[in-house]
Structure 1
Amino acid sequence: MKNIIILLIAYIAVASCSTPSEKEIVAITGIDSTLRPGDNFFRYVNGIWYDTVQIPPSQAGVGAYMFMNYPQRLRLQGILDSVSRSNNPEGSIGQKVGDFYASGMDTVTINKRGYAPIKPILAEIESISDIPSLMGFVADEAKVYNTSIIAFNVSPDNKNSSINIAHVYQTGIGLPDRDYYFATDSSTVGIQNAYKKYVAKLFQLTGSTAEEAEKNATIVYNIDKQLAASHKTRVELRDIHANYNKMAVIDLEEKHPNIGWANLLSNLGAQTDSIDVGQPAYYDALNELLKTTPINNWKIYLKANSIARYADDLSNAFVDVSFEFTKVLSGQAVQKTRGEKMASAVDNYLGEALGQLYVKKYFPEDAKKRMLDLVNNVQKAYAVRIDKLEWMSDSTKQKAKEKLAVITKKIGYPDKWKDYSNVTIARDTYFENLVSASAADYQRRLAKLGKPVDKSEWYTTPSTVTAYNNPSANEIVFPAGILQPPYFDNKADDALNYGGIGMVIGHEITHTFDDQGAQFDKDGNVKNWWTADDYKKFKMRIQQVIDMYSTYTVLDSLHIKGDMTVGENTADIAGIAVAYDAFKMTEQGRDTTKIDGFTPDQRFFLSIAKIWRVKMKDEFLRLWINNNPHSPPVWRVNGPLMNTTPFYEAFDVNAEDKMFLPMEDRITIW
C-alpha cells in the first residue's frame, strides 16, 4: 500500500507538466532511416550529422556537451565586446569585466612587454639558496595559483561536512596524468617528446641557449617523472576513504622535515593544527626529493613551471609555443581567436561577475521555474524506483529516501553573487589583472578555513555548459549554461525535455548513489548508512557496470576504462531509467500521439541521443579515454540504452540487433 500512495503522490505532482499542445513542435531531423535503431542508436540519430559536420580548426571537437562551450564563449564575447566599449562606473561589475577583457585584447601592449611580467618571478627563483627559501617561494606563488609542488585548498571536511578544513593533494607534473610518464606506446612517447620540446622552447624564449634549454628540459622531465611515480592512478583516486588522511601538523612536521609544514602553512596564511593529506605517498616522495635533488635543479624546475603557468598570458611567442604542445595533445588545428580566449579568461577569473551579465540577457525566470519542476518530478520518480528495488532491504531504502529528500537543488545561478570589490582591474595591465583576481580568489577561499560551510556557494560559473553533484553538500547544480537546447528548451514538449535535461537530472541525482556518492550520508559526511548485505549486493552491481563498459572499444584497440568511468556510467544507466519513469507520469508520457512521425517514447530516446551528439579529433579522443571519467559520447548513448528495456520496446529492438542484450544481462542498479 505504501508504494501505491507514493506513486499516486508522484503522479499528481508530475502530471501538472505542460502538454505538447502548449508548446512548439520541435522537429526531429537528420535520422538515418537506412539503419536499424537497435544496431547503433547513436549513428541512427546522429550519423548523418557526424559524417558531414566539420570540426572548427580552432576546436578539438564539435557538437553538444562540453563543445557547446564554444558557441557559449561567442555569446560571452558579444557581451564583453559591448560592455568593454561602455562608460562603466569605476569599481562596477561592468568596469571590471569590461576592462579585464579589454586588457587581454590589447595584444600590442602584451607583445611589447614580452616576458617582462614574469621576470620578477624568475629572479626570485634564481635567488633561492636552500630548501626553506625554496618552500617559501612555493607558498608565495601558491597564493596566486602558480601551483608547483604543493596543491593546497580549503573545502569541507569529508567526515564533518559542516566545517571547512585545509587539504593538500598530489601535484607537480606537467603532463595530464602520471601514466603518461610510464607508457611506451608510440602515441604517448610522441607526447612525452613534445612536452620536452615545449619546455626547452620556453627556456629559449627566456634567454637560454638551445643547448642549455634542452638540458634544462631533461632535468624538469626527470623531476616530473619521479613525482609522477608517487601519484595514485585515476582509479585509485576514486577510493574515498584512501584519499582522506587528516593528520596533525605537528606529526607532519616530524615526518616531513624538508617540507616544513608549520612554516609552509604559516606562509600560506593557513592557521590550522591539522590538514587532510589526500595522497600521503606524494608528500613522502616530495620530502625525500627535496633533499636528494640539487637545489639548482629545483630552480630549473620551478622556472619551467612558472613560465608554463603564464605562457598563454604573455607575448605571442609564448602563446604560440604553448599551442604547439596543445596541438599534439588534442589535435586542435589552429589557435582559438583572441576574443574566444579572453571570454574564457574573464569567465575563469571573474566568472560570477560575467555570469550576472549573462543571466540577465540569456536566462529568463520562467525557464528556471520549469527547470525546478523537472528536477522535483525526477526526484519524486526516483523515490518510487527506490521503493521498487528488489535487492535492497527496507531499512536501507528508508535511508536512501531520506538522503534523496534533502538534496539541495541549485538552478541557473547563485542566490548571492561573489564579491569582487578587492580585485583591481585596469585596461592596460592584463597580467597584473589576472594576478589580482587570483590573489583575491585565494584569500576568499582561505577565509573559509575553520569556518562553517556556506551551502549557497557554487563551484562553476553560471554560463558553463555543465552540471554537477557535490556529495559533501548533498547537492545537484544546473547552471544556466546547460539550460538551452538540446538539453533544455522551454518551448519544447515534455518528451524532449525529459530525454534531454531530465536524463541529466537523473544522472546527477544518481551520483548521490554511485560508487563514491553512496559512501556519503544525507548530511554530506563519509558515513556508512547501508546494511552489510545491501552494500555487498550494491558492489556486485557496480562490478557489472565496470565489466560491461570495459568491453567497449573506442579507437583501434583502445577500450573504455570501466573502473575509471564506473561512476559516470552508473549515473547514465540510472539517469535514463528515472527520467523515463518521470516522463511516463506526464500527460504526454501516457499518450501515444505521434509528433513529427515519432511516438512520445521514441522522441524521449531520440532526445537522449541528441544531447550527446559530439564529434572529436582522434587525438582528443585518446586524451579523453586516458583522463576523462565519462565514457565517450557514443557510449553515453548506446551503453545505457542497451540496459533500458523501454528503449527495446519503443524501437522494436530484438535479438538480431547488435545492441540487444538478453533481459537477464541488462543492468539495473537504481
Structure 2
Amino acid sequence: MNRRLTIAAALLIMAGCSAPPPPPPPAPPPGPKATLGQWGVDFTGMDRSVKPGDDFYMFVNGKWQKDAVIPADRSSTGSFQTLAILSEKRMKEIVAELEAKPVDKLSPEEKKLRDLYDGFTDTKAIEARGLEPVKADLAMIGKLKTLKDVARVMGSPRLAAGSIFGLGIGVDDKDSSKYSVNLTPEGLGLPDRDFYLLDEAGIVKVREAYKAYLGTMLSLTGAKDADARAAKVMALETGIAKLRWSLAQQRDPEKMYHPVAFKDLRKLAPAFPWDAFFSETEIPLNKGARVVIVGENSAVGPIAKLFAKTPVGVWRDYLTIHYLHSYAAVLPQKIDDADFAFYGTALAGRTAQTERATRGVRLLDRTLGEAFGKLYVAKYFPPEAKAKVEKLVSNLLKAYEADIKTLPWMSEATRQKALDKIHAFTPHLGYPDVWRDYAALEISRDDLVGNMKRASMFEWHHDVARLDQAVDRNEWHMTPPTVNAYYNPSFNSITFPAAILQPPFFDPNADDAVNYGAIGVVIGHEISHGFDDQGSKYNGAGNMENWWTDTDLTNFQARTKMLTDQYSAFEPLPGLHVRGDATLGENIADLAGLSISYKAYHIALGGQAAPVLDGFTGDQRFFMGLAQVWQSKFREGELRSRILSDVHSPAAFRVIGSTRNVDAWYEAFDVKPGDKYYLPPDQRVKLW
C-alpha cells in the first residue's frame, strides 16, 4: 500500500523517455535531506537500461530486484519487510527498557507486557514443561465419542482446536449501528481451497509436504499408524475444499450475507449439531431468535453432511493436529520446529525460523497490541508527522470530491450519493484516540499456554459482551506498530497505523511529489475501496445498499471487466496467472488511488509549476515514488501462495497494471506504441 526516486542528468538517465520538459522553474533551496536520496528516491535501485513503457517497475527497481537478498527467516523482502523489521527493532527496544525497570516501577500494563515476553522467550522453561500444559486438552480431544462432542470442541473459543465453521462477532453489513454473529465455512490447513484441487507442480509438492506434516504432528503425540491416519485427515480437508466457495465468490458481500435465525440453522444444515457447537460460546441465542449471518451459505449444508458421515476418530485426529498448530509457538521445540518445517519452509520457502526475541514482540503486538502501541507511539511517532499526513489526506478528499463532480460517465443521482459518501468519510491516523483497557486480562510469567487461552477468551468476551450494544465506530483493527492499512466499509473509514507513516511511504523531508506518489497513493487506495466493485455496495453510513442507477452500474461494471481482463493476462509464475476476478477490488483501488493522488498532488501545487530535481519533473517523481514503494521480492512458494489465496496482485503488477491506465504516466515518460505495456487510449480504464 507506496514511494520515491531521483537522478542527476535529465535526458541521459531517461532512456526511452524522449523530449525534455519545458524550461523548469528554479529548484528550491535545499532543505532537510530526505531519508532516501536527497528528495525521497534512491537512484541506486534503478535499472536505466529498461524503458519505462516496457516495465516501469523494473525501470525504477530493477537493480534492487537483482541484488536484493531475502533474509533466511523471511519469505520476502522489500519496502513492507524493511519497515516491519524496523518496527520489530523498535518494539525490542521498548521491551529492553521494560526489562531494565525495577518491578515496582512498572505500570500494570507494562508488567503484563514484560511477563508475557519473558514467559515466551524462556525456552528452557517451555522445554521443561513439555506437553504437560496441553495434556488435559489433548486427552479430552482423544476421548471424544460422539459428533456432538466434536462440534462442541469446534465451537469452543477457549480451545482454538480448529473447526469446519468459523464464528465471530462483526458489524452487520446492512445495519452498521448493530453488531452481528457471523458464521462462515472454514476447515482447511492450507491457505486456500485450490491448494487441494489444482495440479500445478509447485502446488502438488506443497500438498505432499502437508500430508507428511499431518503425519508428523500426529506422531509427536505418540499416535500409532500416524501416516495412514494423516491420509484420512487429508482426504477430509480435500472434501471440504471441494465444497468451499472460490476466493472471488467470497469477495462479494451481497452473496456472503445470508441472515438466518439460530433455530433455522437446523433447516439450512440439519446434519450438524448446532446446539453443541454454540454451547460454549456464551452468545445469547434469545430462544433461537438470534440472527446469524451465514457466509458461503450454499456450502454449509454439504459441509454439514460431510461432517456427519466422517468417523469421530478422524475428527479426533483433525482436531489434535489443528490444536497443536494453534499452540506450536508456545510448546516444546520439536512441535514448533515441525510446524515451521511445513508452514515456514515447505509453504513459504523460509530456511530459518525467526529468532525468539522478534517472535516475542510480535506476540505482544498481537495480544496486548494497544498497551504496546501506546509505548510505541510515545517514542516513535511525533505529533508533527501526524499533522502533515492529515493535510495530505485532506487534499486527497478534495481531489476525490472534485473528481466525482466532473465524472462524465456518472449520472447526477449517483453522483450525489457518491459525494455524500466522501463527505461522511472518516480517517484514523497513527493511533486510537481511546486506548483499550487490559485490566481484565490475566498474564502469568509461568503459564504461557494459559496466557494464550486467557488472551483468546479476553477478546472473545470483549466481543460477546457488546453484541447488543451500540457499535464503537472508533475501534481500531490494527495496532500502531503494524506496517499496513485498511478501509472499513461498515464505518466508511480508513486506518493508517503509525508504523507505515514513515519512509519510504511517508517522509516529512521528502519532495511533495514523492510523498503523493507514495503514501498519497496508498491513502488514496484505501479511500478508493469505498468505491471499488464491492465497497461501492455500501453507502456513506456504512450500510450495504445499492446507491447506483442501473445505467451507471452497468457502465461501471463494463469498465471493471476491462480491468479484470488486463490483470488476468499477467503471469507471475509459469502457468499461474493473476486472478483478475479475485484481485479486482484491490486493482480498482490501486488505479483509483493513483489517479486521485495525482490530482491531489496538483492541488497541493496550487497552480505553481513543480521544480525539476536531478533532471526529473514533478510528474516523473510522482510515478517513481509509487513504483519505489512496491519494491518486493518473494520466494517462489510465498509468491505461489499469494497468487492463489491473496486478493492483492503481486507487487510488480500493481505498479504496471495501474500506471498503464493513467494518461499522465504516458506523458511523463513518453510511452509510445510498441512499448510492451502501452495501451491505446480507448483501452485504458477510466474510473475515478
TM-score by length of 1: 0.94
Contact residue 72 and residue 351 of structure 2 kept, 8 A:
yes
1:251 and 2:264 correspond: yes
Contact residue 464 and residue 480 of structure 1 kept, 8 A:
yes
1:227 and 2:227 correspond: no
- Which stretch of structure 1 is more off in the superposition, 503-512 or 148-157? 148-157
Specify the code of the residue in structure 1 equivalent to 2:554. K
Distance 1:244 1:592 in 2: 48
List gaps (5 residues or longer) in structure 2: 1-27
1:242 and 2:242 correspond: no
Aligned to 1:274: 291
Aligned to 1:13: none
Contact residue 40 and residue 511 of structure 2 kept, 8 A:
no
1:478 and 2:496 correspond: yes
Aligned to 1:127: 143
2:178 partner SS: strand
Distance 1:175 1:545 in 2: 29
Aligned to 1:6: none
Aligned to 1:205: 220
Contact residue 495 and residue 589 of structure 1 kept, 8 A:
no
Contact residue 219 and residue 300 of structure 1 kept, 8 A:
no
| C-alpha distance 507-50 of structure 1, shift in aligned 2 (>3 A) | same
Aligned to 1:78: 93
Specify the code of the residue in structure 1 equivalent to 2:496. F
Aligned to 2:178: 163
Aligned to 2:428: 410
Aligned to 2:19: none
Contact residue 144 and residue 442 of structure 1 kept, 8 A:
no
Contact residue 573 and residue 640 of structure 1 kept, 8 A:
yes
Distance 2:118 2:450 in 1: 13
Contact residue 173 and residue 228 of structure 1 kept, 8 A:
yes
Distance 2:606 2:339 in 1: 52
Distance 1:257 1:267 in 2: 20
- Which stretch of structure 1 is more off in the superposition, 571-580 or 338-347? 338-347
1:221 partner SS: helix
Contact residue 109 and residue 371 of structure 2 kept, 8 A:
yes
Distance 1:192 1:253 in 2: 34
1:524 and 2:537 correspond: no
CA drift at 1:409: 0.7
1:161 partner SS: coil
CA drift at 1:289: 2.7
2:47 partner SS: coil
| C-alpha distance 542-640 of structure 1, shift in aligned 2 (>3 A) | same
Aligned to 1:308: 325
List gaps (5 residues or longer) in structure 1: 1-18
Residue 40 (structure 1) aligned to one of 52, 55, 78: 55
Post-superposition CA distance 1:8-40 (Å, at most 9, x none): xxxxxxxxxxx8866544253223222322221
Contact residue 583 and residue 589 of structure 1 kept, 8 A:
no
Residue 75 (structure 2) aligned to one of 38, 45, 60: 60
Contact residue 66 and residue 466 of structure 1 kept, 8 A:
no
Residue 198 (structure 2) aligned to one of 177, 183, 202: 183
Aligned to 2:23: none
Aligned to 2:4: none
2:176 partner SS: strand
Specify the code of the residue in structure 1 equivalent to 2:509. K
- Which stretch of structure 1 is more off in the superposition, 310-319 or 23-32? 23-32
CA drift at 1:466: 0.6
Distance 1:650 1:589 in 2: 18
2:247 partner SS: coil
Distance 2:602 2:683 in 1: 24
Specify the code of the residue in structure 2 equivalent to 1:311. A
Residue 352 (structure 1) aligned to one of 370, 375, 381: 370
Residue 564 (structure 1) aligned to one of 575, 582, 587: 582
CA drift at 1:66: 5.2
Residue 130 (structure 2) aligned to one of 114, 120, 123: 114
| C-alpha distance 91-437 of structure 1, shift in aligned 2 (>3 A) | farther
Aligned to 1:465: 483
Contact residue 262 and residue 291 of structure 2 kept, 8 A:
yes
Aligned to 2:230: 217
CA drift at 1:74: 2.3
2:70 partner SS: coil
- Which stretch of structure 1 is more off in the superposition, 220-229 or 574-583? 220-229
Specify the code of the residue in structure 2 equivalent to 1:294. P
Specify the code of the residue in structure 2 equivalent to 1:159. K
CA drift at 1:231: 0.7
Work out the percentage of aligned pairs sharing the same amino acid.
36
Aligned to 1:95: 111
- Which stretch of structure 1 is more off in the superposition, 649-658 or 196-205? 649-658
1:434 and 2:447 correspond: no
CA drift at 1:620: 1.1
Contact residue 249 and residue 262 of structure 1 kept, 8 A:
no
Distance 1:91 1:275 in 2: 40
| Number of equivalences | 649
| C-alpha distance 334-21 of structure 1, shift in aligned 2 (>3 A) | same
Post-superposition CA distance 1:210-269 (Å, at most 9, x none): xx1112211211221122222111011012211101001111134444433344334210
Aligned to 1:5: none
Distance 1:524 1:250 in 2: 28
What are the residue-to-residue correspondences of 1:319-338 with 2, within 5 Å? 319-326=336-343, 327-338=345-356
| C-alpha distance 182-20 of structure 1, shift in aligned 2 (>3 A) | farther
- Which stretch of structure 1 is more off in the superposition, 228-237 or 66-75? 66-75
Residue 569 (structure 2) aligned to one of 543, 551, 555: 551
Distance 1:27 1:522 in 2: 35
CA drift at 1:136: 2.2
Specify the code of the residue in structure 2 equivalent to 1:471. P
Distance 2:551 2:49 in 1: 48
| C-alpha distance 595-352 of structure 1, shift in aligned 2 (>3 A) | same
| C-alpha distance 207-262 of structure 1, shift in aligned 2 (>3 A) | closer
Distance 1:20 1:420 in 2: 50
Distance 2:328 2:84 in 1: 23
TM-score by length of 2: 0.91
Distance 2:247 2:651 in 1: 20
CA drift at 1:447: 1.3
CA drift at 1:659: 2.3
CA drift at 1:639: 1.1
CA drift at 1:462: 1.1
| C-alpha distance 160-588 of structure 1, shift in aligned 2 (>3 A) | closer
Post-superposition CA distance 1:102-148 (Å, at most 9, x none): 111100011112222221111111232212222222233x2454442
What are the residue-to-residue correspondences of 1:477-496 with 2, within 5 Å? 477-496=495-514
Distance 1:641 1:289 in 2: 47
Distance 1:558 1:173 in 2: 22
Specify the code of the residue in structure 2 equivalent to 1:41. F
Distance 2:679 2:645 in 1: 29
Distance 1:653 1:351 in 2: 46
Distance 2:76 2:168 in 1: 32
Report the aligned-residue RMSD: 1.7
Aligned to 2:613: 595
- Which stretch of structure 1 is more off in the superposition, 161-170 or 431-440? 431-440
User: Whose RCO is larger (CA < 8 A, sep 6+)?
Assistant: 2
Contact residue 40 and residue 510 of structure 2 kept, 8 A:
no
Distance 2:550 2:268 in 1: 36
Distance 2:186 2:656 in 1: 35
| C-alpha distance 146-301 of structure 1, shift in aligned 2 (>3 A) | closer
1:449 and 2:464 correspond: no
Distance 2:399 2:60 in 1: 27
| C-alpha distance 371-600 of structure 1, shift in aligned 2 (>3 A) | same
Aligned to 1:622: 640
CA drift at 1:87: 2.5
CA drift at 1:588: 7.8
Contact residue 55 and residue 676 of structure 2 kept, 8 A:
yes
Contact residue 153 and residue 161 of structure 2 kept, 8 A:
no
1:373 and 2:391 correspond: yes
